[in-house]
Chain A
Amino acid sequence: MATIRIPPVLRPSVGGERQVTADGADVGEVLKALVASHEELGTQLFGADGELNRFVNVYLNDEDVRVLDGLDTKVGDADTLQILPAMAGGAA
């Protein structure tokens, strides 16, 4: 089971958890398993074409999966996936 770190804006969709675990052999499978148990995340992570939304980055440990094999990147049990949408808060 890989660990997935959930950013603050997505935590309401996973019952407030900061990190969750999900099964899967690659990034796509892990994220789909995550969406299966937390449906709301579906549209936030994936576009209609089934690809990751461009405004969300996913990192395997500290590397952007887009520079690895994207959703096909292999994931081991000891790996951590970080989901990272952009934040803009600061001045207000």
Chain B
Amino acid sequence: MTPSGAEFVRQIKGQIEEVDPAQVHDVLWDENVVLVDVRESDEVAAGKLPGAVHVPRGFLESRIDGAVGDRSKRVVLYCASGNRSALAARTLKEDLGYDNVESMTGGYTLWKDRGYEVDVPRTLSAEQRERYSRHILINEVGLEGQIKLIDSKVLLIGAGALGSPNALYLAAAGIGTIGIVDDDVVDLSNLQRQVAHGTSTIGTPKVESAAKRINDLNPDVTVVQHQQRLDADSVLELFKGYDVIVDGTDNFPTRYLINDAAVRLNKPVVSAAILGFEAQLSVFDTSHPDGPCYRCLFPVPPPAELAPSCGANGVLGVLPGTAGLLQATEVIKLIIGVGDSLRGRLLMYDALAAEFNEVKVRKDPECPVCSRDRDSISDDEMGVFPDYEAFCAAAG
């Protein structure tokens, strides 16, 4: 005769190891023990054990490897009362070869009744869950990563060719605050590549035009409009409010200014430059001990005849789209903390050849800026380089 459901669970409990919440409490935060919450998402939203990873029982077999890669690790499973976790423990032990699996008796209910600490996770609204569902489904992002994106603040320097794709996709990704620095107005000749703007916003400030488009795409995003040129007097105060700086500017003095201020504040800069059919891209993050800065790569800018700005020289309209989205990708990786960033590498894209190449960018131990004590970098030297006066005079 087949057993009843309750009898079956009792039989299973006889075949697996069980552990009392008191013993689990003793190993809370022990890095050799992985706590796995096998309940459903709506149950976890009300609270879970601190440090526990969430793998719903329905996804146990497909997701446990992502949560616990090492099958010899001690794994403690829990659910609401200890039944589902017992069944899950048997699966891990019998079917998936986990050596050291236990189910916590009494589950989350008993844990809470004993007065042990719980984490009440940040949750998203039903609308946010829907909007970001394709992010939440990726292990590397998940709910946790999406919350990091929502809590983050990104500053775009320039709302033009590179700023446009960044603005749109970062907004779509749910970046909580997007600051935009630009003093220009939308011109008809911008629209071949600056897709954050439109025919209906010609003549309006770019920050305003981009804000309008961003909020149509995602009303959750707070857009801070900085309708100004970046200058040495305000740059530090401005950068302090943001986590990541996106450099898509068209001139060297601004690039050096961005670099020097970011180095002083140890903020990461995701940098791209475009010309014709080619793009250069890198991440300058001096908060990392081996992270080079822009001056490690290019201590001085080329003379004006070798440094045309793309506005005057032309650029394939889709190229800043490609380069800007590579930037946006790096921004998102930095915020979520996944993958290998472009820190220490310069990526070059040649659209005509359909080729990507990269070279190493080394931290310069004698870098005029990032090798120094941050406090010794004065306001007066920020954004300045040898021959600065002559350079700016030649550039007009």
Contacts from A to B (Cβ < 8 Å): 5, 7-10, 18, 44, 53-57, 59, 62-64, 67, 82, 84-92
Extra contacts, 15 of them, besides A5-B357, A56-B302, A90-B247 (Cβ < 8 A), are A7-B278, A8-B276, A18-B350, A53-B302, A54-B299, A54-B300, A55-B302, A55-B306, A84-B346, A88-B301, A88-B309, A89-B309, A90-B320, A91-B250, A92-B160
Is there contact, CB below 8 Å, between B306 and A85? yes
Is there contact, CB below 8 Å, between A55 and B303? yes
Q: Residue of A at shortest CB range from B299?
A: A54
In the complex, what's the smallest C-beta–C-beta distance from B159 to chain A, in angstroms? 8
Which of B163, B252, B275 is A91 in contact with, Cβ under 8 Å? B163
Most buried by B among A57, A85, A86, A88: A88
Which of A7, A62, A88 is B360 in contact with, Cβ under 8 Å? A62
Complex Cα distance, B327 from A53, in Å, reads: 29
Residues of chain B contacted by A91 (CB below 8 angstroms): 157-163, 182, 184, 248-250
- In the complex, B265 has a CB within 8 A of chain A: no
Binds A, one of B78-86, B211-219, B310-318, B376-384: B310-318
Is there contact, CB below 8 Å, between A87 and B274? yes
Is there contact, CB below 8 Å, between B273 and A90? yes
| A and B contact pairs by CB, cutoff 8 A, 13 listed | A8-B277, A9-B275, A18-B350, A18-B352, A57-B297, A89-B275, A89-B311, A89-B315, A90-B158, A90-B160, A90-B162, A91-B249, A92-B312
Residues of chain A contacted by B161 (CB below 8 angstroms): 89-92
User: Interface size (B, Cβ < 8 Å)?
Assistant: 52
Known: A55-B301, A55-B303. A89 touches B273 (CB 8 A): yes
Residues of chain B contacted by A92 (CB below 8 angstroms): 160-161, 250, 309-312
Is there contact, CB below 8 Å, between B359 and A89? no
Residues of chain A contacted by B160 (CB below 8 angstroms): 90-92
- In the complex, B356 has a CB within 8 A of chain A: no
Which of A8, A64, A89 is B250 in contact with, Cβ under 8 Å? A89
Within 235-288 of B, Cβ neighbours of A (below 8 Å) are at 247-252, 255, 272-278, 280
Residues of chain B contacted by A57 (CB below 8 angstroms): 297-298, 359
Complex Cα distance, B143 from A75, in Å, reads: 51
Q: Residue of B at shortest CB range from A8?
A: B276
Known: A88-B250, A91-B158, A91-B250. A63 touches B298 (CB 8 A): no
9 closest pairs, A vs B, by CB? A89-B310, A92-B311, A91-B158, A91-B160, A90-B248, A87-B273, A86-B298, A55-B302, A92-B250
Complex Cα distance, B352 from A5, in Å, reads: 14
Residues of chain B contacted by A18 (CB below 8 angstroms): 350, 352-353
In the complex, what's the smallest C-beta–C-beta distance from A4 to chain B, in angstroms? 13
Residues of chain A contacted by B290 (CB below 8 angstroms): none
Residues of chain A contacted by B353 (CB below 8 angstroms): 18
Complex Cα distance, B162 from A87, in Å, reads: 14
- In the complex, B362 has a CB within 8 A of chain A: yes
Complex Cα distance, B348 from A57, in Å, reads: 14
Known: A62-B358, A91-B162, A91-B249. A55 touches B309 (CB 8 A): no
In the complex, what's the smallest C-beta–C-beta distance from A72 to chain B, in angstroms? 18
Residues of chain B contacted by A5 (CB below 8 angstroms): 357
Known: A18-B353, A55-B300. A88 touches B251 (CB 8 A): yes
Residues of chain A contacted by B184 (CB below 8 angstroms): 91
